[in-house]
């Protein structure tokens, strides 16, 4: 028989395999922000796990997972209700960040069934194997210009870095925080993160992070706006494919493009979709608790 109950942070450790790798490490640390944990067991085995957080005073459904054999019996709904009952009464709104895969609409339908609505679509998300990436005619889609230099992100000299930082700080250049490279440094993958220099200036980059044992996340890829028309980001992506192949650690990658970079988003939908394992949209779902 399945039983659901709230968990302390210490008890929640046993449920770590039922959430994203990115949250597992956080589970082991003392809570940086208030969190609510709910778990379900069947015959002593964890079968469902939910995390609700209250970052910056808001209510976020951080993670909800029901093991495949226990789905479609109301368990997900009961777990969600437990989190909502804990946090809903003290919050006006709840938020959940979900990538809605074209081939798997179930989780989005589940949320809508429980009174959540889809808000902003933030990014196109694409999952591809390295093997499939080698079938894309990258060279025919865009080339580097003579004089452009492609190099590892860690090898970008101080001068170009400092000039880009200064342009960002002074407001001479405005970048959406999903593509601003410096905030993604530190934990980046050194073997595959790359940069593009032109005339001594830093004009493009792809910053990557290991996501799980199989998957490298191309977290942030960008070329400065004047260059996007000429397909200048293509050589950067091809370079990451080559570097990821040589590193031979991750069999595939997840790649995101902000919706407010329409040319890159269209490129993902039109050119990459045929080669992708799946394509989806990173969406924000919200629930209004004032009604
Ligand atoms: C989304 C998830 C939590 C749902 O758990 P669950 O135990 O199946 O949910 P419930 O049984 O309470 O609710 C089922 C209802 O949600 C909707 N739903 C859930 N999965 C669905 C699917 N694959 N296709 C269509 N509708 C689906 C339906 O309305 C369904 O009602 P029905 O079974 O009467 O048709 C579970 O599928 C899961 O863990 N998925 C993987 C992790 C994930 O995507 N998490 C994001 C959570 S928002």
Run means of pLDDT, 10 residues per run, the chain, 291 residues: 94 93 77 84 97 82 97 98 93 94 96 95 93 88 79 97 96 88 93 94 94 91 70 85 97 88 79 91 94 78
Do the Cβ atoms of 13 and 27 come closer than 8 Å? yes
Q: Which of 201, 176, 206 is nearest to 188 (CA)?
A: 206
Question: What is the per-residue pLDDT for 26?
Answer: 77
Q: Which of 31, 63, 91 is the last residue of a domain?
A: 91
Let me know whether 37 and 172 are in one domain.
Answer: no
Does the residue 170 lie in any domain? yes
Question: What is the per-residue pLDDT for 58?
Answer: 81
What is the domain count for the chain?
2
Output the CA 89–ligand 1 centroid distance in Å.
24
Q: Is the CB of 236 under 6 A from ligand 1?
A: no
Let me know whether 147 and 262 are in one domain.
Answer: yes
User: Which residues constitute the domain of residue 79?
Assistant: 2-91
Q: Is the CB of 110 under 6 A from ligand 1?
A: yes
Question: What is the per-residue pLDDT for 270?
Answer: 84
Do the Cβ atoms of 153 and 205 come closer than 8 Å? yes
Q: Which of 47, 73, 91 is the last residue of a domain?
A: 91
Question: What is the per-residue pLDDT for 231?
Answer: 65
Let me know whether 75 and 161 are in one domain.
Answer: no
Does the residue 245 lie in any domain? yes
Q: Is the CB of 74 under 6 A from ligand 1?
A: yes
Let me know whether 22 and 157 are in one domain.
Answer: no
Does the residue 41 lie in any domain? yes
Does the residue 97 lie in any domain? no
Output the CA 94–ligand 1 centroid distance in Å.
18
Does the residue 98 lie in any domain? no
Let me know whether 52 and 191 are in one domain.
Answer: no
Does the residue 274 lie in any domain? yes
Question: What is the per-residue pLDDT for 291?
Answer: 78
Question: What is the per-residue pLDDT for 102?
Answer: 94
Let me know whether 146 and 46 are in one domain.
Answer: no
Task: Kindly list the distances between the CA atom of residue 99 and the CA atoms of 22, 46, 152, in Å, as whole numbers in the listed order.
Answer: 15, 24, 29
Let me know whether 143 and 73 are in one domain.
Answer: no
Does the residue 112 lie in any domain? no
97 vs 282: CA distance, rounded Å? 7
pTM summary value: 0.82
Let me know whether 135 and 197 are in one domain.
Answer: yes
Does the residue 183 lie in any domain? yes
Residue 96 CA: which ligand 1 atom is closest?
48
Output the CA 66–ligand 1 centroid distance in Å.
8
Residue 79 CA: which ligand 1 atom is closest?
12
């Amino acid at each position: 028989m399945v039983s659901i109950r709230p968990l302390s942070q210490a008890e929640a450790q046993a449920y770590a395999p039922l959430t994203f790798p990115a949250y597992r490490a956080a589970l082991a640390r003392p809570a940086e922000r208030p969190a609510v944990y709910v778990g379900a067991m069947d015959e002593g085995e964890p079968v469902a796990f939910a995390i609700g957080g209250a970052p910056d005073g808001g209510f976020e459904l951080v993670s909800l997972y029901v093991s495949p054999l226990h789905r479609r019996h109301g368990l997900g709904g009961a777990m969600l209700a437990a989190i909502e009952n804990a946090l809903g009464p003290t919050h006006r709104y709840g938020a959940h960040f979900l990538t809605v895969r074209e081939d798997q609409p179930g989780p989005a339908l589940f949320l809508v069934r429980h009174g959540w609505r889809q808000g902003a679509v933030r990014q196109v998300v694409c999952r591809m194997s390295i093997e499939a990436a080698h079938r894309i005619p990258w060279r025919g889609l865009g080339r580097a210009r003579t004089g452009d230099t492609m190099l590892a992100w860690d090898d970008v000299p101080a001068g170009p870095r400092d000039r880009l930082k200064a342009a960002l700080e002074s407001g001479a250049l405005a970048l959406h925080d999903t593509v601003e490279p410096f905030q993604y440094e530190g934990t980046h993958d050194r073997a595959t993160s790359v940069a593009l220099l032109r005339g001594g200036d830093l004009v493009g980059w792809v910053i990557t992070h290991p996501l799980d044992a199989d998957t490298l996340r191309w977290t942030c890829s960008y070329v400065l706006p004047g260059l996007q028309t000429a397909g200048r980001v293509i050589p950067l992506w091809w370079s990451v494919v080559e570097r990821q192949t040589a590193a031979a650690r991750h069999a595939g990658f997840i790649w995101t493009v902000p919706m407010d970079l329409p040319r890159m988003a269209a490129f993902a939908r039109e050119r990459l979709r045929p080669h992708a394992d799946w394509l989806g949209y990173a969406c924000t779902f919200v629930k209004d608790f004032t009604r």
